[in-house]
A and B are shown apart, each in its own frame.
Chain A
Amino acid sequence: MREIALHMADIAENSLAAGAARIKLSVMIDRAADRLITAVEDNGRGMDADTLYRCTDPFMTTRTARRVGLGIALFKLSAEQSGGSFTIRSEQGRGTRAEAAYIISGIDRAPLGSIADTMAALIAANPETDFTLEYAADGKAFAFATDTTPYNDRTPAFAAAAKKEIQQRIDEINGGAEPI
């Protein structure tokens, strides 16, 4: 994956497969502390202790088309390559939260990439699911949520408008700062 935002899209796919009605992506940038924390959280069916233990193993997968599952393993690796860390918590019947913390200056850190594109793709293809984005950078923050939009209005046009709005708000928050 060339962007951290693509890992987040991929992890959100696991949430969808877990039957989540609500998925939250969060991004926290702290340039002074040289830290970027990203997380994907859902209210899906969760994992039992054994599955949770094995879920970062590339040779563990729930898919049937092939026998490897790289999504979580790759997300974990992307954080660790930057000198950061990865944690995943899950509770059956409650949901799952995967968090990847990055060292911004880590030379093997992938760029954050387009969070707006990741949100838009998820929103466009999954009108039954509510998506939230919490985005914070150096003390400023905003949240975006699809919750108040009725199902019938969750069209591709709505997703396209969401993409524009999210991008605009990200740009506002980052001001002229160099994208990470």
Chain B
Amino acid sequence: MRSIQELEAIRESTLENMTLRKEHNGTRIVVGMATCGIAAGARGVLTAFMEELAERKLIHVALTQMGCIGMCHLEPIVEVHQPGHETVTYVKVTPDMARRIVREHIEGGSPIEEYTLSHYRAK
């Protein structure tokens, strides 16, 4: 049995690690994983991000998920959050698009305009 003090120490060190992880460099890729997203192919998009981030060793980038944001017809939807930049929302994302987003936006620093929600709306 562990004492309360030991458990408290574990809790504190875990919390510290969690903060470390969350801070990263602040870049977050968020994939819509509600029923609508999954039905439209979000699982393959998420695993494509996972594989591309792993291959390129982009360990400072956090990959997370979100629920439905009310635009089910545009799923799979992906948001890229970077400190100091406006959030970029990509719509109707495929696994190939996901890999390109990692290369050009996350690594290269230039969002891919033609995949974005604003581009879709302007059409």
A residues with CB within 8 A of B: 1, 6, 9-10, 13, 17, 63, 65-66, 69-71, 74, 117-118, 120-121, 124-128, 150-152, 155-157, 159-160, 163
| B54 at the A interface (CB under 8 A) | yes
Write the B25-40 contact mask toward A (1 if CB under 8 angstroms, else 0).
0000001011100110
Question: Is there an interface contact between B67 and A124, defined as CB atoms closer than 8 Å?
Answer: no
Question: Given A117-B44, A125-B65, 14 more contacts at CB 8 Å?
Answer: A1-B39, A10-B39, A63-B67, A65-B68, A66-B68, A66-B70, A121-B43, A124-B47, A125-B64, A126-B64, A151-B14, A156-B61, A160-B51, A163-B47
Chain B interface bracket (under 10, 10 to 19, 20 to 34, 35 or more): 20 to 34
A contact patch SS: helix
A-B contact count (CB 8 A): 88
Across the A-B interface, the 7 shortest Cβ-Cβ residue pairs: A65-B70, A157-B54, A125-B65, A156-B53, A124-B50, A160-B54, A121-B46
Distance in angstroms between the alpha carbons of A161 and B17 in the assembled complex: 22
B residues with CB within 8 A of A: 14, 17-18, 20-21, 31, 33-35, 38-39, 42-44, 46-47, 49-51, 53-54, 57-59, 61, 63-65, 67-70, 72
